[in-house]
Structure 1
Amino acid sequence: MLTRRRGRRRTEETVMRRYFGTDGVRGVANELLTPDFTMRLGRAIAQQLLETTPHHPPRVLIGRDTRRSGAMLETALISGLCSMGVHAVSAGVVPTPAIAYLVREGHYDLGIVISASHNPARDNGVKLIGGDGYKFPDEYEAQIEARLAEAPEPFPYPPPDKIGLWQFDERESEQYLLYLLHTMRELTGEREPLRGIHIAVDCANGAASQYAPVVLHELGAKVSLYGGEPDGDNINLGCGSTHLETLQNAVLETDADLGVAFDGDADRALFVDEKGDPVDGDAIMTLWAITRHRQNTLNPPLVVATEMSNLGMQRRLEAEGIQLQRTKVGDRYVAEAMRATGALIGGEQSGHIIFSERATTGDGLITMLETLGLYLHYQKPFSEIAHPFTPYPQKLITIPVRDKHAWQTHAEIQSLIREAERKLETRGRLNIRASGTENAIRVMVEAETLEMVEATITPVVEAVRRALG
């Protein structure tokens, strides 16, 4: 079971795993993620499925983003699955949250997404989504990893008449589009609620490229599209939610009412107001929660966020009578806490937001529609509603290291952390953690003043670089 430690700093020990990180398997295509490895991964996944669904051949739905390596890895994965007797259906290029939605609607046993999210095109990954639409828990991924490490070669294949079937079904992606349109029309009661609204959209040359413009046009919006011409190599390249300056310039150049940027697999969304100022996930969650609370429809009065969310957000929510519950970084941990508490909203500063009435995982397109619903509700310029709290100054530094877990037992680093926490007391927070996707340590400090942030973070970062860099 997952364990959490109360307090301002997480220091629980991290289970060492070779392949699975915080968001599935991720690595450089044709280095870690070769066709051979991906086929073996498919077989290991199939073995796990066959054990848990013994009464029928398991059915798996597969989607991918726009990376050059996506089709190659999908083919290898399907070969591994089918060779063990699992049926596979390809939905093609779809957002990650589309698979989470379609797996539940289509009663699949498993969903798989081939994507490296916001990473550059050279990377790719394999994410697993359970039949209930939620990301696989750590313990299930650990079991698959054990099969990869221990399974004999060759795997014990079934007879020819038990080989799994494969098909491509474009109706799956169409069903997701219809769901998005229904969501906004249900939210507003209008067929074209966005008529007269000009929206700049940056699709990161990723999975949202085939979805966001279509949805917005169907809902009546005027759309200025950026990052909407994927070629296999330009996903997240100078565009999308990790390069928000592209959207900021676009909003100002086109005189748009607001802008939205997705990442490569469209599970997150960030925004820009009409003045070109960024609006992050903390701001959207706070605005949404306050609005629902004042309408007496936020039950329970709770927001789930990670340890990276800003203290300013927490203070504003508390002033409104709304509790903020923090989790480890990663939308899977947010989702787990939301299920345990019944929270209606939770997410990350980076734009992964889960609206539990509509989705089981972070969905950038649902986030876009819910945010546009707020914009329509208030009937004000976006800049007047999209900054509901004053953020505490915050700084996050990522430090490449040789061993990303050694900080937990390093005497000098631990001493500096204790000293920093003593100085901050209730006026700020320090968070230090191992990256889940790369060999690095992330140090975050927020405090009442920028001077306090710099004075706190500098000695800790220097010590980490000196000892572990």
Structure 2
Amino acid sequence: MQLFGTDGIRGKVEITNISNEDALSYYLEKRILTPTLMRLIGEAVAIELINRHENLNPKVVIGWDNRPDNIHLTKALTQGLAIQGCDVHWAGEIATPGLHYCVLKSGYEGGLMVTASHNPAHDSGLKVFDELGFKTYPERENEISNIVMNLVSEDRELDEEYLDKLSKPSTVFDGSIKYQNGLKNRLESIQEMWDIKLEDAIGLEVIPSNGLLLDSSKGANVDWLSSWFSSNGLTSIEQSSECLQINLNCGAGNFSPTDKWSWDDLESEHVLLNSIKQNLQNIDRSKSGQIIAAALDGDADRCLLFEILEDGTGIGIVDGDRIADDILQAGILREPQKDWTLAASIESDLSLTSSLKRLSENIEDLETAVGDRWLSLALCKQAIPAFIQSNEFPGLIGCEDSGHIVLPILSSQNKWGLVGDGAMTLISTILARSVLKSLDVNNKFTSGWKLRKSVKEVDRKLWDGNNELSVQIHDLAEEWFTNYSNCTKLSNVNINGSKSLLLLQGTVEKLPFSLGIRNSGTEAKISVSLRLSPGCKELISKDPSELVEILCKHLSRNM
């Protein structure tokens, strides 16, 4: 039994009083999340913490985003932790990277974030952090899941009055203020390191003279982030304040990394696209590459930017791969002797990592499973999560094209953690673009071709990356490439952290391509992702999107 998906626990919330057995079956069979299950998860996390730390009273902090039912789930989670002896603190409504900061700076043995990221407001879930600020990995998730199952099998009754007392934390504090102070410190550090300031961005035409349109997805940052940016030199105007709820027609979760729009094609219910359309008279369409807007996702751990296209015909997404490339370029230009490591997921542009020598000979590249936790683990370069020891800012960056960017964060003297933070991603990108503009340099990579498509309403148990269906997909893909290119063999590649992943790689006239098929972590769907390096598509006699369609249809019929 496994409760966790790619990034924590997620499900549709129902506030109902049901038995432990029903709460577990509701989640496993229908992905319905109840306070009863959240209490059980709280108990399981507490037991695992106590066993691992050999501390009978571990200190745990909980934060949550502004989903309508989160306070009920938070109280239930608090009950579970307290039943087993935890000292529970509440950080209040906060972004996920803000909770990470509280864990890192306040000596907690664990942190729990009640959120479902970019999912609709009727969903919620849980992200679990250890004392170093790292998310859970499969071994710990399996242990927590097994403890929940054992708790469900126990015959016990809990008094309602007793539970009500346990639903209150020992301490409540404003974690968002701590986070804002931490963000300020990180901003000042990178400004000093790169000898550039946010306020330089307008003069260098990195952003428009009237400022940046900002979409916080009606999440925990919506009430303060825009004014915080403006007070620190980056004029920005929040767009999601009037949205009805988190992630509804707002935020990065509604966009694909490859999205583009012409100026005439901006009609949309999405608040940010609508705001851009309303603001067209203030946009200088000749300023190609200028960043005019940015969108965070619901829990603010990732960010996508919007720039004017090179030909001036509209706008396009600046995805996580481009963001990482900008930051790498600026970092290398400012500190040419520093060694860098780039971790990129299996869905990143192949050209990003294959062309790194255009920037420096001193860049190591690593390929990881999908999920920012795998980026962090790869950058640690150890089998288990650990702080990075360094007297200076480490040359480390992790990226996913979805906008997850993992960067170092100072924990204590010479000890660095790693975190994905949408606000810090925006800061770093604006500063990086400002460095590049000030030096009149932009040695960006040439994008390859990629297509990602999902098949919904499937039975995920019928796919594991190694079974007969997986073999059929391998054979279909190999046959297609044999028929329409000079590639006759696809190699199966293993990636740490992706148990259900089938990753196939090959070359067409020495140009690499990659095909990945994997289950969604929390939803009843499976995705097919095909990536071709630059020039590869032109050497294939059929449109490669046809292969993606063939594989999706086969999966739909057989799952």
TM-score normalised by the chain length of structure 1? 0.86
2:553 to 454, 462, 467: 462
The 5 A counterparts of 1:304-383 are: 304-320=343-359, 321=361, 322-340=363-381, 344-357=396-409, 360-379=418-437
Say whether 1:24 aligns with 2:8. Answer: yes
| Equivalent residue number for residue 414 of structure 1 | 474
Q: Is the 8 A contact 2:79 2:167 kept in 1?
A: no
**Distance in 1, Cα, partners of 2:231 & 2:400:** 29
Q: CA deviation at 1:314?
A: 2.2
Tell me the SS of whatever aligns to 2:355: helix
**Distance in 2, Cα, partners of 1:333 & 1:163:** 35
| Equivalent residue number for residue 90 of structure 2 | 90
| Equivalent residue number for residue 455 of structure 2 | 399
The 5 A counterparts of 1:142-157 are: 142-151=142-151, 152-154=154-156
Q: Is the 8 A contact 1:282 1:313 kept in 2?
A: yes
2:178 to 168, 175, 180: 175
Q: CA deviation at 1:93?
A: 1.2
Q: RMSD of the TM alignment (CA)?
A: 2.9
| Equivalent residue number for residue 128 of structure 1 | 128
| Equivalent residue number for residue 302 of structure 2 | 268
One-letter amino acid of the counterpart of residue 438, structure 1: E
Say whether 1:302 aligns with 2:367. Answer: no
**Distance in 2, Cα, partners of 1:289 & 1:37:** 43
Q: Is the 8 A contact 2:247 2:297 kept in 1?
A: yes
Q: CA deviation at 1:77?
A: 0.6
Q: Is the 8 A contact 2:198 2:430 kept in 1?
A: no
Larger gyration radius, structure 1 or structure 2: 2
Say whether 1:200 aligns with 2:200. Answer: no
Q: Structure 1, unaligned stretches of length 5 or more?
A: 1-16
One-letter amino acid of the counterpart of residue 73, structure 1: L
Q: 1:83-113, CA deviations, whole angstroms, 9 ceiling, x for partnerless residues?
A: 2211111111111111111101000010000
One-letter amino acid of the counterpart of residue 178, structure 1: N
Equivalences, count: 445
Tell me: CA distance 1:392–1:155, structure 2 relative to 1, closer, same or farther (3 Å): farther
Tell me the SS of whatever aligns to 1:356: strand
One-letter amino acid of the counterpart of residue 344, structure 1: L
Q: 1:44-98, CA deviations, whole angstroms, 9 ceiling, x for partnerless residues?
A: 1111122223345111111111111111111111111112211111111111111
| Equivalent residue number for residue 219 of structure 1 | 232
Q: CA deviation at 1:250?
A: 3.0
**Distance in 2, Cα, partners of 1:65 & 1:420:** 46
| Equivalent residue number for residue 186 of structure 1 | 189
**Distance in 1, Cα, partners of 2:201 & 2:332:** 28
Say whether 1:441 aligns with 2:466. Answer: no
| Equivalent residue number for residue 280 of structure 1 | 319
**Distance in 1, Cα, partners of 2:197 & 2:180:** 15
Q: 1:364-394, CA deviations, whole angstroms, 9 ceiling, x for partnerless residues?
A: 1111111121133234799x95x92222121
Stretch moving more, 196-205 or 345-354: 196-205
**Distance in 1, Cα, partners of 2:337 & 2:103:** 28
Tell me: CA distance 1:133–1:86, structure 2 relative to 1, closer, same or farther (3 Å): same
Q: 1:279-303, CA deviations, whole angstroms, 9 ceiling, x for partnerless residues?
A: 0000010121122223345743321
**Distance in 2, Cα, partners of 1:155 & 1:453:** 59
Q: Structure 2, unaligned stretches of length 5 or more?
A: 15-25, 27-31, 203-208, 256-265, 284-290, 310-314, 383-387, 389-394, 411-416, 488-505
Tell me: CA distance 1:414–1:295, structure 2 relative to 1, closer, same or farther (3 Å): same
Tell me the SS of whatever aligns to 2:98: helix
Q: CA deviation at 1:193?
A: 3.0
Tell me the SS of whatever aligns to 1:430: strand
Say whether 1:235 aligns with 2:237. Answer: no
One-letter amino acid of the counterpart of residue 415, structure 1: D
TM-score normalised by the chain length of structure 2? 0.73
**Distance in 1, Cα, partners of 2:156 & 2:243:** 38
| Equivalent residue number for residue 431 of structure 1 | 516
Overall identity of the aligned pairs, in %? 27
Q: Is the 8 A contact 2:201 2:430 kept in 1?
A: no
Q: CA deviation at 1:344?
A: 0.7
**Distance in 2, Cα, partners of 1:399 & 1:298:** 46
Tell me: CA distance 1:52–1:301, structure 2 relative to 1, closer, same or farther (3 Å): closer
Tell me: CA distance 1:249–1:318, structure 2 relative to 1, closer, same or farther (3 Å): farther
